[in-house]
Amino acid sequence: MSLKSYTIAVLVEDLYEDLELWYPVHRLREEEAKVVLVGPEKDRTYSSKHGYPARVEWSADDVLPENLDGIVIPGEYAPDRMRRCAAMVDLVAKVDELGRVVAAICHGPWMLCSANVVSGRCVTGFFSIKDDLVNAGAAWCDEPVVEDKNMITSRTPDDLPVFVKQIIAKLVAAK
């Protein structure tokens, strides 16, 4: 099934993990989804931990959560910077509240903690943020991909194939 009528936001900030941003972007675009890069500021370029540029098309302030079918939060240190932007945190919380797909990998679940959406849910992420997730009320599950309701979480770039496959399956099932 094509994702032609779907709109997915991928969050961006400086120091994002290259593969965790671009692998989902390209796979979702291959499935014909409209994928937009969203950051704190519109029309700005953010750099990955290796210096690779990502040009943001929309600012978090400009996004209407009801126009999104899902959101993807890549990891590395970008989520720590993202959660300093109230509009980005609010966007994640609102997309979750609408029951749309919320996907986060590696350090991406830090944004889920800041959005107060992990309490009572089973999640995973990079092992070093386990305490943050548990302290936010989540149940930690050390698996390549974990799905709990509309939320999909994953650990590292090695898990990207199963992570993105699960995102696509969840998007199709949600419509």
pLDDT at 1: 67
- CATH class for the domain made up of 7-174: alpha beta
Quote the pTM value: 0.97
Return the SS3 of 150.
Answer: coil
Q: Domain locations in the chain? A: 7-174
Confidence at residue 175, expressed as pLDDT on a 0 to 100 scale: 76
Distance CA 166, CA 155 (A): 14
Q: What is the pLDDT along the chain (175 residues), one digit of tens a residue?
A: 689 999 999 999 999 999 999 999 999 999 999 999 999 999 999 999 999 999 999 999 999 999 999 999 999 999 999 999 999 999 999 999 999 999 999 999 999 999 999 999 999 999 999 999 999 999 999 999 999 999 999 999 999 999 999 999 999 998 7
The residue written with tokens 């548990």 in the block is 134
Structural contact between residues 139 and 119, judged by C-beta atoms closer than 8 angstroms: no
Neighbouring CB atoms inside 10 A of 14's CB total 18
Give dist(CA 7, CA 29) in Å, integer. 10
Backbone φ and ψ of 157, nearest 5°: -55, -30
Quick one: tokens of 96?
A: 């979750």
Examine the residue annotation and report whether 107 is marked as an active-site residue of this protein.
Answer: yes
Asked if 135 contacts 118 with a C-beta cutoff of 8 angstroms, the reply is no
118 CB-contact burial (10 Å; exposed 0-12 / middle 13-18 / buried 19+) = buried
Decide if 69 contacts 171 (C-beta within 8 A). yes
Cα–Cα distance measured from residue 172 to residue 175, given in angstroms and rounded to the nearest whole number = 6
Contact by Cβ (8 Å): 35, 102: no
Pick the catalytic residue from 81, 107, 121, 170: 107
